[in-house]
Amino acid sequence: MKFDDFFQRVARATGIGTQKELAALLGIDPAAITLAKSRGVPKSWGLTLAAKFGLNPEWLRTGAGPMHQHEQGRTALVPKVAARACAGGGSLELGDAVIDELPFERAWLARKGNPARMVAMDVVGDSMSPEIEPGDTILIDQSQNRVSDNRLYVIGLGETIQVKRVQVRPGLVILFSTNQRYSPVTLQGDEMDTLRVIGRVLWSSRAYA
């Protein structure tokens, strides 16, 4: 993908006017722009901008098709991010760079939540087995970050991102694993302030009601 053509399309879609602004949007060093001029634009740049602005990745790559995702047909492409949710007790790999995109039926996504806030990520660890297995890819709606009792959520706890079934009780929150080898985690008092609900799990080769 030639940089000049790519930059013109990005400028048209986002209103930016300089390469410095492009670097800021992508969260990259401006020196990477110089490299892209000679080697071509990395695919991840288009995926990242498509996720941020609801753009059609194919239009960003080639100029073909509609500019925006919502103008396309029955299939919507959901960005897959580099972060990996840990279904276990270990540390995990953090990062929000878009590395791929997964096709879903647009109407199904709309019934489940807010497609514009959905991302996919891989799971490591076995604490949610057999409900979610290591290596599964899950779909998360980040707009659903208020806990509905006993549903599956991706949560942030300290420096980790985990998949847990969350129960709320007066004055405490309980995080459950499907694998009975893992004991429930109870948060209460100031401990609850460390909990971040990133989004509800909608799918991992199956849909959750």
Kindly calculate the radius of gyration of the chain based on its CA atoms and give it in whole angstroms. 19
Beta bridge partners of 166: 151, 175
Sign of the CA dihedral running 128, 134, 139, 145: positive
> How far is it, in rounded angstroms, from Cα 173 to Cα 18?
47
- The kind and range of the H/E element at 177 are none
pLDDT in tens, 25-82: 898 999 999 999 999 999 889 888 888 888 888 889 898 888 877 655 677 888 888 8
User: What's the count of helices (H) and strands (E) in the chain, helices before strands?
Assistant: 6, 9
Taking the complete model, does pTM exceed 0.75, yes or no?
no
Tell me the per-residue pLDDT of 157-191, one tens digit each, with 9 for 90 and over.
Answer: 877 889 999 999 988 999 999 999 999 999 998 88
The strand ranges marked E within the chain are 75-86, 98-105, 118-124, 137-141, 151-157, 160-169, 172-176, 185-188, 195-203
Q: In which residue are the tokens 């998949």 written?
A: 163
Determine which helix (DSSP H) or strand (DSSP E) holds 109, and give its type and residue range: helix 106-112
pLDDT in tens, 76-109: 888 888 887 776 554 334 445 788 888 898 889 9
pLDDT score, position 140: 94
Angstrom distance (rounded) from CA 79 to CA 139? 10
Model confidence band, residue 110 (pLDDT cutoffs 50, 70, 90): confident
Residue range 122-134: average pLDDT?
92
